Amino acid sequence: MRARRFAISALVLAAALALPPAPALALGRLFPADNIWNTSVRGLPVHARSTAYVDSIGAGEGLHPDFGSGLWEGRAIGFPWNEVGAGQAKVNISFYYPGESDPGPYPIPPGAAIEGGSDRHLLLVDHSTNQLYEVYDAQHNADGSWSAGSGAVWDLGSNALRPAGWTSADAAGLPLLPGLVRYEEVAAGYIGHALRFTVPDTSPDWVWPARHQASDSGDSSLPPMGQRFRLKSGFDTAGFAAPVRVILEALKEYGMMVADNGGPWYISGAPDSRWNDDVLVNQLRQVPGSAFEAVDVSSLMINPDSAQARQP
């Protein structure tokens, strides 16, 4: 599961929030208010291995949006997601990691939007049951059947985690959707949750709330899956465009979690035609890795098998 790099079109418009409206699916808060995704880490202590972790990712590497507008290799840039309702027929999926997958069936609509690149994530929200379905490497076969690498079903009203050692549709065994930058949040001026991001290499460990690792390295200077990072409180966001400033302030308040191996400091988001790729890429790259610090969230854990967090 590797993050992809994409080319930026020279034809994007200059104003990040002034593009014509595009149809957008609206989500409220995902998971309970006291879920770790929705919990502030602003006042938590710096992790003892923060410097080593930041250096391993790249202290001089800039932040990068792994989402945008337009297409890259024929697919939308980022993680698209699909809304379904009570009438949506469900289908069986043949998984090649069945032992760590929820068997389903899954409510996949005709023409469902799937992430581009090799990972082919498929995200589905069923509002009638308040469930999130996520699939890795979703393949719709010529005979009409579906196959995939792994799949997970999440109750959006619950703080339950995957069994320890299980993957999900993401390498860390976490849900994808709650960690995405979504246009409607940025346009509203506030992101109220942690973000998902990737790093080039991880240690063969995971820390709460992650449940799974994806590494063949024994290097303890590498961050584990689930490690939380935040933008340092003293980093000045005043000179950035409004949408970028919203993202940066969220990174100060809620931070971001290591969820996969991929590009350094690549933050994940949902595609939208209203994103201004030039603004996102050119301004976020001005935020170096050295502006971040690893956070020790262990004081928030109530139960290692639950994402419920003690509120600071």
d(CA 120, CA 262): 15
Place of tokens 């996520």: 134
Q: Is 251 helix (H, G, I), strand (E, B) or coil?
A: helix
Examine the pLDDT at 28 and tell me if it is beyond 50. Answer: yes
d(CA 72, CA 80): 13
| Surface-to-core class of residue 296, CB atoms within 10 Å of its CB (0-12 exposed, 13-18 middle, 19+ buried) | middle
Which residues, 6 or more positions from 232, have their beta carbon under 8 angstroms from its beta carbon?
Answer: 252, 291, 292, 293
Examine the pLDDT at 234 and tell me if it is beyond 60. Answer: yes
pLDDT tens digits, residue range 119-152?
A: 999 999 999 999 999 999 999 999 999 999 999 9
Examine the pLDDT at 247 and tell me if it is beyond 60. Answer: yes
| Surface-to-core class of residue 81, CB atoms within 10 Å of its CB (0-12 exposed, 13-18 middle, 19+ buried) | buried
Nearest-CA neighbor of 208 among 257, 169, 276, 271? Answer: 257
State residue 17's pLDDT score. 34
Tell me the chain's radius of gyration from C-alpha atoms: 18
Could you give the angle at which helices 242-253 and 277-284 cross, rounded to 10 degrees?
50
Nearest-CA neighbor of 95 among 133, 129, 132? Answer: 133
User: What is the pLDDT confidence band of residue 312, given thresholds at 50, 70 and 90?
Assistant: confident
Residue 293 belongs to some domain of the structure: yes
State residue 218's pLDDT score. 82
pLDDT tens digits, residue range 74-85?
A: 889 999 999 999
Number of domains in the chain: 1
Examine the pLDDT at 285 and tell me if it is beyond 50. Answer: yes
Q: For residue 12, what are its two tokens?
A: 């994007």
d(CA 195, CA 55): 20
Residue 174 belongs to some domain of the structure: yes
Residue 161 belongs to some domain of the structure: yes
Residue 80: HSE in the Cβ half-sphere, 13 Å Cα cutoff: 21
User: What is the pLDDT confidence band of residue 7, given thresholds at 50, 70 and 90?
Assistant: very low
Place of tokens 């938590």: 44
Q: For residue 188, what are its two tokens?
A: 């509203």
User: What is the pLDDT confidence band of residue 27, given thresholds at 50, 70 and 90?
Assistant: confident
pLDDT tens digits, residue range 189-230?
A: 999 999 999 999 999 999 999 999 999 888 888 999 999 999
165: left (phi over 0), alpha (psi -120 to 50) or beta: left
Is the bond preceding residue 209 a cis peptide, omega within 30 degrees? Answer: yes
Q: For residue 25, what are its two tokens?
A: 């699916």
Q: Give the mean pLDDT of 29-35.
A: 96
Nearest-CA neighbor of 76 among 247, 244, 275? Answer: 275
Q: Contact, 132 vs 170, CB < 8 A?
A: no
| 79 vs 3 pLDDT, higher one | 79
pLDDT tens digits, residue range 287-297?
A: 999 999 999 99
Q: How many CB atoms lie within 10 A of CB 285?
A: 14
**Total-model pTM:** 0.90
Residue 11 belongs to some domain of the structure: no
Place of tokens 């498929």: 122
Please state, in angstroms and as integers, the Cα–Cα distance from residue 10 to each residue in 52, 157, 214, following that order. Answer: 37, 43, 36
Residue 305 belongs to some domain of the structure: no
Q: Give the mean pLDDT of 65-70.
A: 96
State residue 6's pLDDT score. 33
State residue 21's pLDDT score. 32
User: What is the pLDDT confidence band of residue 14, given thresholds at 50, 70 and 90?
Assistant: very low
The mean pLDDT value of the chain amounts to 92
Residue 12 belongs to some domain of the structure: no
Q: How many CB atoms lie within 10 A of CB 197?
A: 27
| 71 vs 105 pLDDT, higher one | 105
* Range(s) of the domain holding residue 220: 36-300
State residue 26's pLDDT score. 61
Residue 16 belongs to some domain of the structure: no
Examine the pLDDT at 236 and tell me if it is beyond 60. Answer: yes
Residue 308 belongs to some domain of the structure: no
d(CA 1, CA 48): 28
Q: For residue 309, what are its two tokens?
A: 């967090």
